[in-house]
Amino acid sequence: MIQLLYSVIFAEMALILLLLFKTPLRKLIILTFDRIKRGRGPVVVKTIGATVFVVLISSVYSLLSIQRRSEDGAVLNPTDQVLASKHLLEASLMGFVLFLSLMIDRLHHYIRELRLLRKTMETAKKQNRSFEDGKTTNGEEVKALGEEIAVLKAKIKKLESESESKGKELKSAQAQTEALRKSADGFLMEYDRLLEDNQNLRNQLESIGHSPEGKKSM
pLDDT in tens, 42-83: 788 788 888 888 888 888 888 888 777 777 666 667 777 787
- In this prediction, the residues of the chain whose per-residue pLDDT falls under 70 are 72-76, 134-139, 173, 177, 180, 184, 187, 191, 209-218
Q: Cα–Cα distance between 29 and 71 in angstroms, integer?
A: 49
Are 94 and 48 spatial neighbours (Cβ–Cβ below 8 Å)? no
Could you give the CA distance from residue 91 to residue 210 in angstroms, rounded to a whole number? 170
pLDDT tens digit sequence for 100-119? 888 888 888 888 888 888 88
Range of the domain at 31: 1-136
CB atoms within 10 A of CB 105: 14
Task: Provide long-range contacts, Cβ within 8 A and 24+ apart, for 6-14.
Answer: 6/93, 8/97, 9/93, 9/96, 9/97, 9/100, 12/97, 12/100, 12/101, 12/103, 12/104, 13/100
Does any domain span residue 67?
yes
| Nearest alpha carbon to residue 52 among 12, 80, 20 | 12
Q: Is 10 helix (H, G, I), strand (E, B) or coil?
A: helix
Asked if the structure places residue 172 within a domain, the reply is: no
End-to-end CA distance of the chain: 185
Which residues, other chains included, contact 41 with Cβ-Cβ below 8 Å and sequence gap of 6+?
35
CA 212 centroid distance within chain = 120
Identity of the residue numbered 29: I
Has residue 163 been placed in a domain? no
Q: In this predicted structure, what is the pLDDT of residue 217? A: 45
pTM beyond 0.75:
no
Confirm whether 178 is domain-assigned: no
Q: Are 2 and 91 in contact (CB under 8 A)?
A: no
Domain count, the chain: 1
pLDDT at 73: 64
Residue 50 domain flag: yes
Q: Are 91 and 59 in contact (CB under 8 A)?
A: yes
Residue 112 domain-assigned (yes or no): yes
- Report the alpha-carbon distance of residue 3 to residue 12 in Å, rounded: 14
Instruction: Say if 183 falls within a structural domain.
Output: no
Residue 166 domain-assigned? no
